[in-house]
Chain A
Amino acid sequence: MSENLSFLFSSKKCHLRNLALMSYFLLFSFLIFPQDTLQKEKMTHRIETNISITRFDIFHSFEYSAKVNHFQASVGLGYGVTRTFFQQRFFPKINVLGVYNLINNPKFSFGPSVYYSFSWLKINQTSKHFNNWNELFGGLHWEYGNKWRIGQTISAGYFSESYFNQFLNKRAKASNWGYFVNFSLIHEL
């Protein structure tokens, strides 16, 4: 293996990156080409509103989700409540969630989930730089209800914060474990 490619396979980060890429392709192929892969299944479309607790803020988000048989996936746009409302600094976040429902009854579903989010925040208004966060978590998701449903996701994993380091004069990263507890109100369209 050439030295140039060895970094892809040698570090702890590579597992995280590969997992992120796999999740990305799985989720988006499912969302964009559902008819190609799951032609005969009935797809239900839903809108959701969520409250999620993370290490950095409490987020409120609006999401669109689709469910086909055991699979469901959602994409959402949210904002950090503390930063946005109490500090008047808009803290947006985009996220995707994929779930494979091991229990898939009409009224109740439960299964493992993969969650990825990207959020960004301008901490210092006199600077042109943003801090941003990538989070990749694995966990469990359940839902209960009919047309109107409630749901919850509990996940843990790693986050990476990217920020402009004023002494190094370049972007730097800091990473650690994170968690994500989410409460959803879902409406089937």
Chain B
Amino acid sequence: MNYNRTIFFFLSSVIFLSLINSCKKEKFFTIDLYGHAGNGLDIVNSVYHDNSQESIEFALGLEGTTGVEVDMRMSADGGLWLYHDDLLETETSGSGCVSQKTNSELNEIRYNTVNKEKLVNFSNLPFINYGNTTFLLDVRHYNGCDFFPIDYNLFVSKIIDLRNNHPSIKFVILTTFDDWIPLFIAQGMEVYFEISNVANLDSATPNTLSCQGYIIKNQFIDKNEVAKIQAENKKVIIFELRSPKKIREALKKNPNGIVTDDLRAAIIEKH
């Protein structure tokens, strides 16, 4: 057996790999990092199901995370629940919509995963364990199963109650529904309006213009547009970031924050 050849083979590999870390990288220390729906939505290296307590706590626990984005819906009896899709049957043991179910019905539902995570009643999360973190609340103003509207005022008041009960946590509203922006702003909450195109801002309503910032997909905004919005004293959060390449691309645009599906990759890129 040729031991010299084997030793040479291993040593040259180790030397080669040790040179890799000497590459110089850009740093993005001022940009906030948020996990999408906890620790990522439909991504293979996410350990837990999106919007589950386990996923949220895993994401918040990673050193370098600013907070998490979660998808919030209101149940038939006014509970604040986290669930991404319109229909429960797509991801869980339940069926129908969150808005049609009572809190006790939703309590019994589990995600269809190995870990069988529970649906999260947001008000029941142990916020005391989460320090001074930030939750971006993607509040769903519509009922995904029928045209019966949800009670906007009740939804807003439940979120305000939550904010008042947990002063150490920063709750930020993300919405596509500009009618209720004034309701949240009147209560002193920070609101980001989701836009699909920067050009839409030219025809923005007064409600839209009154929010503190905008959230937009990475593909629809460039670095100059980010700078232009920031020059108007508004903040920008970029989302739809799965690969390290896209995360780096978004960080180079210098937004105020990014919502990413791969938090580990984003933390590596930031630092």
**Per-position binary interface string of chain A over residues 150-167, scored 1 when its CB falls under 8 Å from any chain B CB and 0 otherwise:** 000000000001011111
Q: Quick check: is B130 within 8 A (CB to CB) of the other chain?
A: yes
Are the C-beta atoms of B115 and A176 separated by less than 8 Å?
Answer: yes
Are the C-beta atoms of A166 and B63 separated by less than 8 Å?
Answer: yes
Q: Quick check: is B114 within 8 A (CB to CB) of the other chain?
A: yes
Q: Contacts A45-B1, A55-B45, A124-B64: A85 and B20 contacting too (C-beta < 8 A)?
A: yes
Interface residues of A in 66-92 (CB under 8 A from B): 77, 79, 82-90, 92
Q: Quick check: is A140 within 8 A (CB to CB) of the other chain?
A: no
B-side interface size class:
35 or more
Are the C-beta atoms of B244 and A166 separated by less than 8 Å?
Answer: no
Provide a sorted-by-A list of 29 A–B residue pairs whose CB atoms are within 8 angstroms. A47-B6, A55-B45, A56-B45, A62-B9, A77-B10, A77-B13, A84-B20, A87-B265, A88-B21, A88-B25, A89-B21, A90-B17, A123-B63, A123-B64, A124-B62, A124-B64, A126-B63, A127-B63, A127-B64, A129-B63, A166-B61, A166-B62, A166-B131, A167-B129, A174-B54, A174-B58, A176-B47, A189-B2, A189-B6
**Per-position binary interface string of chain B over residues 123-162, scored 1 when its CB falls under 8 Å from any chain A CB and 0 otherwise:** 0000001110100000000000000000000000000000
CA of A124 to CA of B13 in the docked complex: distance in angstroms? 25
- 12 extra interface residue pairs, beta carbon distance < 8 Å, beyond A84-B17, A174-B47: A62-B9, A83-B268, A123-B62, A124-B62, A126-B63, A127-B64, A166-B131, A167-B129, A167-B131, A174-B58, A176-B114, A189-B6
Chain A residues, CB < 8 A from B267 = 123-124
Chain A residues with a Cβ under 8 A of chain B: 45, 47, 55-56, 62, 64, 77, 79, 82-90, 92, 121, 123-127, 129, 131, 161, 163-168, 172, 174-177, 189
